[in-house]
Amino acid sequence: MARKFFVGGNFKANGSVKSIQAIVDNLNNAKLDPNTEVVISPPSLFLLSTAEKIGNGIKVAAQNVFHKPDGAWTGELTNKMLTEHGIEWVILGHSERRTIFKESSEFIAEKTKASLDAGLSVILCIGETLEEREAGKTLDVCCGQLKAVADVVQDWSKIVIAYEPVWAIGTGKVATTEQAQEAHAGIREWLAKTVSSEVAEATRILYGGSVTEKNSGELAKQPDIDGFLVGGASLKPAFVDIINAKLT
């Protein structure tokens, strides 16, 4: 079975009532590729209002979640809060969580397991720094981050992997088509060897890192690139063109 193309939009800590309404209106009125699954992730303050207003088959994701049940976790959202309000997805392991907030691969794995157990689907982010790439450690780093999850998770059917080289996030630098495909193929090979060939074949691996409407078409043609996790460009009208990248 062919893997369904997937495009996620991570708004990060951006947006106002007016600007997010404009994004929602644009997506609701757009003609989107029916063969592409779309998930958008506004800041937590706008999760419920976005979920209520978005249409066109688009789902909504939280940008983060805590792995413990409801309790004394100041500033956190829990999985129960998300599922009770119809939020179906969460982004975990983004490089900003790993680097700025010092979340370890093991902690991210705990959160991934908790979210899956709660019934959520997970966009699991992995990626290497520039220093690690230049040292030839791209796959060592990415697969190490995945191994922490493989150690605690058996069912990968609700995980989408997002390969996001840290050096390409928000920098305007983009991995070449060849670099991105090579990394994706290596990740898929690791899944086949470590988890199972069935999981490797079924799991969607997204590319993230300064994706725009200008480079998305060529990236989308690669056999192991199953979509994108888009940052800044998801705030712009051209996000529609990225969603429709397979049509170009």
Q: Furthest-apart CA pair in the chain: how many Å?
A: 49
Q: Check whether 87 has a pLDDT greater than 80.
A: yes
- Is position 94 within any domain? yes
Query: Quick one: pLDDT at residue 240?
Result: 98
In DSSP notation, 165-180 reads -GGGSSSS----HHHH
Query: Quick one: pLDDT at residue 229?
Result: 98
Rounded to whole angstroms, the Cα distance separating 153 from 167 reads 28
- Is position 202 within any domain? yes
* pLDDT, mean of residues 190-197: 98
* pLDDT, mean of residues 74-93: 98
- Is position 26 within any domain? no
- Tens-digit pLDDT profile for residues 6-31: 999 999 999 999 999 999 999 999 99
Helix (H, G, I), strand (E, B) or coil at 37: strand
How many Å separate Cα 166 from the centre of its chain? 14
Contact 98, 108 (CB under 8 A): yes
- Is position 218 within any domain? yes
- Tens-digit pLDDT profile for residues 30-49: 999 999 999 999 999 999 99
- Is position 52 within any domain? no
- Is position 153 within any domain? yes
- Is position 45 within any domain? no
Active site residues: 94, 164
Q: What is the total count of domains within the chain?
A: 1
Instruction: Enumerate helices (H) and strands (E) in the chain, giving the number of each.
Output: 11, 8
- Tens-digit pLDDT profile for residues 97-124: 999 999 999 999 999 999 999 999 999 9
Rounded to whole angstroms, the Cα distance separating 68 from 52 reads 26
- Is position 22 within any domain? no
Exposure string over 35-45, b if 16+ CB within 10 A, otherwise e: ebbbbbbbbbe
Contact 192, 184 (CB under 8 A): no
* pLDDT, mean of residues 86-99: 97
Q: Can you tell me which residue has the tokens 């100041």?
A: 74
User: Is-above-0.85 flag for pTM?
Assistant: yes
The CATH number of the domain where 80 resides is what? 3.20.20.70
Contact 174, 168 (CB under 8 A): yes
For residue 79, the enclosing domain spans 61-235
